[in-house]
Amino acid sequence: MASAPPISLSPSYLFAAIDMGTNSFKMLLVRVYPNNGNKFFIIDHRKEPVVLGRQASNSTTTPFAISVDSELRALDALQNFQQLLKSYGIASAQTRCVATSAVREAVNKWEFTKNVREKIGLRIDILPGEEEARLAYLGTLQFFPLYEKLVLCVDIGGGSTEFVVGKKGNVIFAASLNLGHVTLTQKFGESVEEQVSKMREYIRLVIGKSGLIENIKRCGFEVVVGSSGTIQAVEKAVFYGYSNGSCVLDHTVVVNGDGKRDWRLSKEEIRSVVKRLCGGGGGEKENGMREKLFKRRCEFIVAGAVLLEEIFEALGIEKMEVSGFALAEGVVAEVLGKVCGEGYDMNANNRRRSVLQLASRFNGKKRMIAAAQCACIANEIFEELRKCDELFDNEVAVCLDDKELEYVEAACMLHNIGIFTGKKGFHKQSCRIIMNSDHLHGYSTEETKLIALLARYHRKKLPKLDHASFKDFPKELKKKFNCLCAIIRVSVALCQHSCMYNQEIGSSDSQEVFKLTLDTILPLNEFENNTEELKKELEHFKKVFHRDLSALVS
């Protein structure tokens, strides 16, 4: 396999990772900051249900080949991705496209990759199973603060399942087994619940012959992490009460009482999900519930859940942490590692990981992306302000350093987590969640309170610094809070104009005006017609920094 081309990143850079899986194709668009904490923010996420691994027949003797129909679906999906890449201005040099089991096993893989390169313009890296496992492990390290732990990572895909034992970013053992939810479904039929016993026997046979159990027992592990869409789907079913019958439908969505996800699974919870999936007996209500919960994955969820249960049994797993990040995020981490070289510290963002995990407990992908876009805008404003030494005169007299930037980013990522209770007063709920949470690892009590209050005052009434909430804050910290709050409020107001592409952000400074340039997908006059809230925040920004912030639309 040819190595990936070298990638050069500027201080603020857009990058795309495409994961061509057996079941679905996923594209992750991120803004990376290799010179500022080796961090990245996910600004867009797309998924296409290609099912590249779907065979024309259920024959187990015929070598697998990507069918004409599957290739057409793949090309359509990649063409959609390519159009989005162009709209963001992301060139092929800023994109890495990786393929997993289906392409890896296909007898016509070279013809397929050639067609993609010639018709779409994307170069595909076909990952060996062990490399796929390693990248999935790197992805989990961006979500959980487990760098120092001996981690067993399990990633169930459509055509294969990857296992890796790692510590401090290094792989101790890796294996890939040809067990996937798509291939198992095809092998045992679409009515797979009637074939569960045969499926279990087959899974046990493959695992037993592989030597996986002995190798993992020899390595040992302290914590188990699942990093695939299948595992996330099972965890989501537990979260929504599907396994214990408390799940209810509200016309279009499945609703649950407490609104927060723990991102973990126990053996008993998996067993209860499998029991309902295999013993529900169908019916209109049950089928409707499955479709709401599992959506396009519904066709393959029985095989995926049964496979996960068998893995728990075979390896003696009692509980599993469920990562919101997987292969694509691992590809991004790999890019950062290559760009930064020895300067890249895989464990540098321990505190940031805990922020992402807390945000993911309450937010779905759309709100996570909105929060990340807000953080990107705030980051750019913050960085440009720091360049203007003369901006901070004796009246402002405040120093903005990396710590303050971290607080701003954390508050942006968490400002909307209270929405799960409803939009009314959600900013207050966000503040309460942050203050009462034990998930912000590494932050002092004062730092946690500062982040919570920044989230609280990102909208509505401006903060009164003589309020009881600020009584323990020293005078200097109150000044900083005022500045940070102004940055966040402008960033949120900009982000709420869904016209923002957040593609390129630049600025220029004069003695009177600090100018911020942003791209938009709407005409200028439409942008200006929706700026009442933004105008208020721009006026507040001027009061704090004694200078106009002029939002220019290119």
The 10s digit of each residue's pLDDT in 284-326 is: 777 778 888 888 888 899 999 999 999 999 999 999 999 989 9
Give the pLDDT score at 224.
98
Q: Does 497 lie in the same domain as 457?
A: yes
d(CA 57, CA 263): 37
State the pLDDT at residue 440: 82
CB 427 within 8 A of CB 397: no
| Interval 475-493 mean pLDDT | 87
* CATH number where 245 lies: 3.30.420.150
> Does residue 541 lie within any of the structural domains?
yes
Counting the structural domains of the chain, the total is: 3
Is residue 173 in a domain?
Answer: yes
**Distance (Å, whole) CA 264 – CA 187:** 29
Task: Specify whether 161 is located in the same domain as 88.
Answer: no
Which residues are CB-contacts of 65 (< 8 A; sequence separation ≥ 6)? Answer: 106, 107, 108
pLDDT in tens, 196-236: 889 999 999 999 999 999 999 999 999 999 998 899 999 98
> Contact 73/50 with Cβ under 8 angstroms?
yes
Q: Is 527 or 517 the better-scoring residue by pLDDT?
A: 517
For residues 287 and 408, membership in a common domain is answered with no
- How does residue 523 score in pLDDT terms, banded at 50, 70 and 90? very low
Looking at the predicted structure, is the pLDDT value of residue 392 above 70?
no
Is residue 465 scored above 90 in pLDDT?
no
**Has residue 132 been placed in a domain?**
no
Cα separation of 138 and 354, whole Å?
A: 16
Q: Give pLDDT, residue 485.
A: 92
Do 363 and 335 reside in the same domain of the chain?
Answer: no
Q: Are residues 479 and 366 both part of a single domain?
A: yes
Residues 195 and 311 in one domain: yes
pLDDT (0 to 100) of residue 90: 87
Question: What is the Cα–Cα distance from 95 to 127, expressed in whole angstroms?
Answer: 16
Residue 345 within any structural domain of the chain: no
So what's the pLDDT on residue 12?
54
- Kindly tell me the number of DSSP H helices and DSSP E strands found in the chain: 20, 16
CATH number for the domain including 55?
3.30.420.40
- Spatial contact of 151 and 140, defined as CB atoms under 8 Å apart: yes
Residues 164 and 287 in one domain: yes
Q: What percent of the chain has pLDDT over 70?
A: 80
**DSSP assignment of 216-271:** HHHH--SEEEE-SHHHHHHHHHHHTTTTTT--EEETTEEE-SS-----EEEHHHHH
For the chain, what percent of residues have pLDDT higher than 90? 44
Mean pLDDT confidence for 489-506: 64
Q: Does 299 share its domain with 367?
A: no
Q: Comparing 36-40, 173-177, 311-315, 340-344, which segment has the lowest mean pLDDT?
A: 340-344
Q: Which two tokens stand for residue 502?
A: 């957040």
Please report which confidence band the pLDDT of residue 516 belongs to, taking 50, 70 and 90 as the band edges: low
pLDDT for 287: 78
Which of 290, 309, 340 terminates a domain? The answer is: 340
Q: Answer yes or no: is 2 within a domain.
A: no
Question: Does any domain span residue 6?
Answer: no
Question: Under a CB-based contact definition with an 8 Å cutoff, are residues 31 and 376 in contact?
Answer: yes
Residues 6+ apart with CB under 8 A from 46: 26, 27, 29, 80, 81, 84
Residue 524 maps to a domain: yes
Return the pLDDT at 251. 36
- Which strands, in side-by-side order, build the sheet including 124-126? 39-48, 25-33, 13-20, 95-99, 124-126
Q: Are residues 357 and 303 in the same domain?
A: no
What CATH number is given to the structural domain containing 534?
1.10.3210.10
Instruction: Give the mean pLDDT of the chain.
Output: 82
Give mean pLDDT, residues 327-347: 78
pLDDT of residue 423: 85
Q: What does the buried/exposed string (b/e) look like for 340-376 if buried means 16 or more CB atoms within 10 Å of the residue's CB?
A: eeeebebeebeebbbbbbbbbbbbeeebbbbbbbbbb
Convert the pLDDT of each residue in 235-278 to its tens digit.
988 988 887 766 654 433 444 444 566 789 999 999 999 998 88
Distances 183 to 51, 156, 160 between C-alpha atoms, Å: 10, 12, 8
Q: Give pLDDT tens digits for 169-194.
A: 999 999 999 999 999 998 887 555 56
Q: Is 271 buried (19+), middle (13-18) or exposed (0-12) by CB count in 10 A? A: middle
Do 214 and 314 lie in one domain? The reply is: yes
Average pLDDT over residues 415-420: 90
Which pLDDT belongs to residue 514? Answer: 57
Query: Do both 248 and 388 map to the same domain?
Result: no
Specify whether 85 is located in the same domain as 150: no
429: domain range? 350-553
Summarised one tens digit per residue, pLDDT across range 99-123 is 999 999 999 999 999 999 999 999 9
Which of 224-238, 336-350, 363-377 has the lowest average pLDDT?
336-350
* Of 340, 372, 388, the domain-final residue: 340
User: Do the domain assignments include residue 4?
Assistant: no
pLDDT-derived band of residue 165, with 50, 70 and 90 as boundaries?
very high
| DSSP helix, strand, coil percent of the chain (3-state; round to 5) | 50, 15, 30
pLDDT at position 550? 64
pLDDT-wise least confident of 7-16, 252-261, 429-438: 252-261
CA distance 377 to 373: 6
Given a cut of 70, whether residue 553 has pLDDT beyond it is: no
pLDDT at 11: 45
Which H or E element spans position 433? helix 426-436
